[in-house]
């Protein structure tokens, strides 16, 4: 089988923002973008972890103002396209226009995988602004393939250039990735198909390869796997695997490995610890990890118990404030008077 390299988007400076508490320094932003650009990475995503407009009390404040972040990224991306995430309800069209004016090329609009209709206004505005537009179907593990395909068709009808199957919780296995990517490929006629993995069950490389073997058009990675939960598919590792498979990637794997070592390794070490594993097993949104650990400690419940209950209640992105309520419910259920 001859594999074709999909367009790679490195998400270190967006998904990785969750892992570091949105505290990337100006120096780190400049260094990472310059290194990825020099290595030949075609798309670099850089924004608050929750996307444009995400710097807030609920999601965490950014150390660097997002428009300054875009300006720094644009200055150091000589060849790569610059992308950012936007979640309707967190970011708005005004944010999108400001980001475009600061040098953004691509907007990746994210909704829960059953709520694609929430993206219509933003996608149509993005196309009017001249932005390449990508749709993200979050929490794709929660719905059958036919539902994802139906939602992807909505995004395509809004002018979306690509629709991603997004394993937000790192809960999928390769067979499920295959089924769901195929479902989108079978119905989309103008939009491309992409795949975004998390590594909570340790299969992000396998899942990414399953998507690539199907001829997926776009794939996401991050240096050293830096990202929410147990992180994403590591850029340098996926490139090494593809090199071993004689796939022409057009990206310097050794330069990416060096960038990961020099600019990312000291920031935060992603790992499949107990909490990250439970998130993947229970299907809990990966960006809940830091919040859940903090709340579990503050309210005297185990993070495992808390995450399992969040999974049972089928929490979705944007419900971070519910974590406290669930922790209090757990304490009440076991008769802890201090929870009253």
pLDDT in tens, 216-242: 999 999 999 999 999 999 999 999 999
Give the SS3 label for residue 155.
helix
Task: Give catalytic residue positions.
Answer: 18
How far apart are the C-alpha atoms of 231 and 235, rounded to whole Å? 11
Q: What is the pLDDT of residues 239-284, one digit of tens each?
A: 999 999 999 999 999 999 999 999 999 999 999 988 889 888 988 8
List the CATH code of the domain at 287-339: 1.10.8.60
Location of structure tokens 């519910």: 322
CB 40 within 8 A of CB 250: yes
Per DSSP, the three-state class of 298 is helix
Mean pLDDT of 276-297: 79
**CA separation for the pair 21, 293 (Å, rounded):** 13
Please give the radius of gyration of the chain, using alpha carbons only, rounded to the nearest integer.
19
| Of the candidates 264, 213, 277, the residue with the CA atom closest to the CA atom of residue 31 | 264
CATH top class, domain 7-264: alpha beta
Residue pair 7/250 in contact (Cβ under 8 Å)? The answer is no
Q: How many CA atoms lie within 13 A of 261 on its CB side?
A: 8
Taking the model in full, what pTM does it have?
0.91
Q: How is the chain split into domains, by residue range?
A: 7-264, 287-339
DSSP of 46-105 = ES-TT-TT--BTTTB--SS-HHHHHHHHHHH-SSSEEEEEE-BTTB-HHHHHHHHHTT--
């Amino acid at each position: 089988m001859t594999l074709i390299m999909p367009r790679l988007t490195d998400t270190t400076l967006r998904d990785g923002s969750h892992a570091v508490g949105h505290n990337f320094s100006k120096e780190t932003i400049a260094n990472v973008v310059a290194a990825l650009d020099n290595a030949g990475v075609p798309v670099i995503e850089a924004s608050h972890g929750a996307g444009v407009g995400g710097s807030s009390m609920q999601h965490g404040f950014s150390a660097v103002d997002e428009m300054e972040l875009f300006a720094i990224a644009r200055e150091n991306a000589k060849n790569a396209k610059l992308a950012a995430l936007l979640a309707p309800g967190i970011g708005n069209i005004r944010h999108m226009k400001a980001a475009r004016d600061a040098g953004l090329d691509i907007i990746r609009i994210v909704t829960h995988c059953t709520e694609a209709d929430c993206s219509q206004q933003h996608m149509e505005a993005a196309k009017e602004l001249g932005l390449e537009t990508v749709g993200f179907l979050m929490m794709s593990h929660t719905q059958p393939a036919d539902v994802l395909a139906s939602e992807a068709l909505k995004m395509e009808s809004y002018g979306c250039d690509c629709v991603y199957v997004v394993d937000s919780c790192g809960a999928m296995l390769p067979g499920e990735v295959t089924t769901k990517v195929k479902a989108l490929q079978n119905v989309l006629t103008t939009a491309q198909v992409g795949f975004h993995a998390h590594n909570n069950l340790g299969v992000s490389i396998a899942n990414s390869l399953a998507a690539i073997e199907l001829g997926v058009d776009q794939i996401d990675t991050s240096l050293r796997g830096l990202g929410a939960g147990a992180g994403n598919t590591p850029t340098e590792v996926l490139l090494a695997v593809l090199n071993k498979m004689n796939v022409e990637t057009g990206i310097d794997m050794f330069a990416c490995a060096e960038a990961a070592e020099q600019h990312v390794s000291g920031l935060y070490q992603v790992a499949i610890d107990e909490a990250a594993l439970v998130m993947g097993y229970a299907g809990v949104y990966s960006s809940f990890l830091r919040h859940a650990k903090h709340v579990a400690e503050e309210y005297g419940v185990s993070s495992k118990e808390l995450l399992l209950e969040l999974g049972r209640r089928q929490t979705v992105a944007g419900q971070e404030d519910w974590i406290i309520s669930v922790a209090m419910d757990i304490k009440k259920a076991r008769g802890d008077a201090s929870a009253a």
